[in-house]
Amino acid sequence: MVERGGGAILLISSAAGNRGCQGAIAYGVAKGAIPQFTRVLARELADSNIRVNCVSPGIIRTRFQEYLTAEQVANNIENRIPLHREGRPEDVAAALAALAENDFITGAEVPVDGGMAMRMV
């Protein structure tokens, strides 16, 4: 990227990296480090015109969510996600595409979580 005059690095964190999720200590810690890594790497690479950003998906309907019971899905939709619906992989892809295309965003973490990041509880 340095030789080409710049580029974009996109990283994937998780809402679990910003909120405590019971039973997911290692996952939460690893995902929680990614936004800080994003900021530090963005600063390190800015002089080379390399942008670094990350997205933090919330509850996205993928195979990762297949273990949830109907009651857990209902609780997520009714109580945890302000938009009252699960996200889709396309929602995450659209955020990543926007970060890849915009050449004036670097060091950002974009939550793709239906509003979960703004909730207090």
Q: How many CB atoms lie under 10 A from the CB of residue 79? A: 11
Q: Is 27 a catalytic residue?
A: yes
Amino acid identity of 96? L
CA distance 84 to 77: 4
Cα angle value 6/18/9 (rounded, 5°): 10
Of 1, 6, 27, 85, the catalytic one is 27
Residues assigned a catalytic role: 27
